[in-house]
Amino acid sequence: MNPNTDYHCLKTFGSYFREDIRIPVGTKIDFRQTCDGQLITEVDGKQIGAVQSKDLCRAFFDMYIGDPPVSVETKQDIAQNVGGLIRRC
């Protein structure tokens, strides 16, 4: 375990997804990282929170685009979306 782990940041991030928050089928949840290391969470276009932690940002996105990813399908979707963005430039 990293002795410098910011547990407050993890607790804050986890609080965005309490059991009493309804997330119906089709809900769009977006996560984005700012250049200064904030992990911003939006639900259907409304920001529900932001935590300042470059380590959490790195770990969170590494789950999806690292090796091995949590979901191979999600990693492939991300790659296709990034490829589409590059082609438009």
Residue reference for tokens 């769009």: 28
pLDDT of residue 52: 93
Query: Is residue 13, in this structure, part of any structural domain at all?
Result: yes
pLDDT in tens, the chain (89 residues): 567 778 888 889 888 887 777 788 888 889 999 999 999 999 899 999 999 999 888 888 888 888 888 888 888 888 787 766 677 65
Tell me whether residue 1 is in a domain. no
Residue 75 placed within a domain: yes
In the chain, the amino acid numbered 33 is: Q
SS3 42: strand
The CATH code of the domain that includes 54 is: 3.50.70.10
Residues 6+ apart with CB under 8 A from 5: 55
Spatial separation of the C-alpha atoms in residues 60 and 85, rounded to whole Å:
22
What's the pTM value of the predicted model, to 2 decimals?
0.71
Tokens of 9: 């940041």
Q: How many domains does the chain have?
A: 1
Domain that holds residue 49: 7-88
